[in-house]
Structure 1
């Protein structure tokens, strides 16, 4: 039995590969050069004039002086006004009370943005360590990729990464928070340099978009991302793609309620996986590893079956004969990890996915989070699995993938 299992009793402590941090107000104002502190991201308190989330689109409107309405804390950056919402920090609230509404920091559970409080909430949830995606930058830094001032945007990316490594995952975290950094998506060479800068201080994961063309960026089928992917390959940096990191949540119509998109959250991962498996990227970069955060896993077996059929039967006219030389299912087994927090169907079909290709997550502090019952959910859905398989899913695969210690801790800066 591993040290992880010994420390936590009969059920291994969880290494969650998809949690979230809500950035404290000073992340950028404390780190940007003086000339940018009034133009970089900063927080103001103002009323919410209007807010909707329909057809997969979030549309908040900030009120001005004298306007009535509920008060929220807003991030201001260039022409962007983005409020903190209950969806950013829903844990601790009744599910029926979670709505699309603006909130202040005081209305959040402190573990959303405070390291000591986060560790306490992890203890309650049987979580040993956690990899956290951003909130204001969005899931892969789209906020900065859309900015007009590229000099400032690059500084903002680096400031976030410095905060992530030095403070969020700094000494107070005791190795229990695992760094996940951003790159400047608008320039693959700059992205590669940022990967290498952070890899040199022990970072083993970087955010990326599930479908870059949705952001006006190159696809993975060409060579536009080669400098970035080469840097990830050579440094052992995992490419982490969260649902919604293409700035589009799946939906069916402009008037579809948010519940439709919430049901279909896996869909972008499904499309993205087909892209990666049939792109030739894994042939070009044999050490590259990717993961799909919050995508769940039950959909994976059919995509692998279909991709293998297309590769076998249609590769001649399908445009992949000269660049995809192995069956997609074999590429998946060597390069791809699916992540889930509640997927009994996927676990019943684990043999068609691969024990080594599955990672567990808790999604704290979002509305889908299984906190504080993540252990109970795992025990219930994994009851049919052998203890050694459970340990791999709950912690072992993440330890290997992210270069953690045997006890599931980030070893700190290199």
Structure 2
């Protein structure tokens, strides 16, 4: 955990609105919502031993054993031919750093706040967090699991079932407005995606998950017109496009045998590439109310990328292929449309003037291994000690309230 010397006291450090946390979906999310004919192929949980597991070169490879085989028991999601275990990396809070290993676990072996609403609120209270936006686990960060499925009729039902659970249960009455819904779209069809954005916007949803680099999923890039129906729906409804690191199913790495520590150090890289894509795409000029945010991407890298993008736009936009669609400096587009999210970035906070106070959001990453829980307040106090209280207020909660259309008190509704 990085820290810098505190120069101001924070007796009233603002209650945190975390724009990047995670939920581990309860076992019945899909089994209780899918038509009966899909229950044997739709997502379901079984308990089985682990045969082997690896995470090298940014690729996660678990192999499920047969009943009676030796090996640690874990809970596995089965969906069509997919076998995906719950792992300690899905929910690591409450364990010391040295205890967090790549291993399979059961629901009983995870902190209940990972999947239970009242327990999540209690853990938020411990961590000085008022409200929280949660990304998925089994569907992956933007619903890639359903995009890769063979049966897209079933996959669409799965996307809608997840969104119904997210809005009606995870963010339902028990949550007291403190859990902010983030929904999925059927990434394989932009028209269906637009319809799902509008369906959820009609019930108050203001954020949707998307891939940082869609071509890594075999999907069109943001430079094409293919996504325009989806982007138009987001522009029309004020729905924020939220992109989490790893939402292109390819974590940054350098080689097939690079240990996870390499990728973990450069997790921001896909956000960097993605942001340049968006800045040079012309989409912000075509959809002027569009807003995007990069969850867990940190912010310290942003100033140089904006500086370089402006130089390229100024000097090379003719042969660079963007003169006819990007009519303003990329840094201006960033200021109006893009938000960086961080949980531990002292360097970025020292360079806020080059990023923009209005373009920064705070997060805690509960319950992942990088999470600052239960000390997110202390980390914030240490790293923001040089900032004026009004700036801290904006970063910790004010910008999120404005972006996500929350109540003045910081609640969903």
TM-score bracket for this pair, using the shorter chain length: over 0.9
Q: Return 5+ residue gaps in structure 1 as ranges.
A: 1-7
Q: Kindly provide the CA deviation profile for residues 378-398 of structure 1, in whole angstroms up to 9, marking residues without a partner as x.
A: 000000000000000000000
Q: Which residue of 2 aligns with 1:270?
A: 272
Tell me the distance in 2 between the aligned counterparts of 1:24 and 1:10.
35
Give the corresponding residue for 1:319.
Answer: 321
State the alpha-carbon separation in 2 of the partners of residues 221 and 9 from structure 1: 47
Q: d(CA) in 2 for partners of 1:35 and 1:10?
A: 54
Residue 135 (structure 1) aligns with: 137
Give the alignment's Cα RMSD to 1 decimal: 0.7
Structure 1-normalised TM-score?
Answer: 0.97
Aligned to 2:97: 95
Aligned-pair CA distance for 1:66: 2.0
Q: Distance in 1 between matches of 2:144 and 2:67?
A: 29
In the alignment, which of 248, 253, 256 is matched to residue 255 of structure 2?
253
- Matched with 1:348 is 350
1:389 pairs with 2:391: yes
Q: Does 1:59 align with 2:47?
A: no
Distance in 2 (alpha carbons) for counterparts of 1:255 and 1:34: 43
Q: Which whole-Å CA distance do the structure 2 matches of 1:44 and 1:278 have between them?
A: 45
TM-superposed CA distance for 1:9, in Å, is 6.2
Give per-residue Cα distances to partners, 1:124-149, cap 9 Å, x unaligned: 00000000000000000000000000
> CA separation in 1, counterparts of 2:123 and 2:67?
37
Listed one character per residue, the Cα deviations across residues 54-98 of structure 1 (whole Å, up to 9, x for unaligned) are 110000000002210000000000110000000000000010010
Moved over 6 A (4+): none
Aligned length: 404
Which residue of the partner structure matches residue 125 of structure 1?
A: 127
Find out whether 1:42 has 2:76 as its counterpart: no
Describe the SS at the equivalent of 1:372: coil
Written as runs of structure 1 = structure 2, the 5 A alignment for 1:14-413 is 14-411=16-413
1:34 Cα offset (Å): 1.2
Q: Could you tell me the TM-score, scaled by structure 2's length? A: 0.97
Aligned to 1:5: none
Task: State how far apart, in whole Å, the 1-side matches of 2:68 and 2:124 are.
Answer: 41
Displacement of 1:39 after TM fit?
1.2
Instruction: State how far apart, in whole Å, the 1-side matches of 2:405 and 2:157 are.
Output: 28
Question: Aligned-pair distance for 1:347?
Answer: 0.2
**Structure-2 residue corresponding to 1:4:** none
Q: Deviations over 1:367-411 (max 9, x none)?
A: 000000000000000000000000000000000000001111001
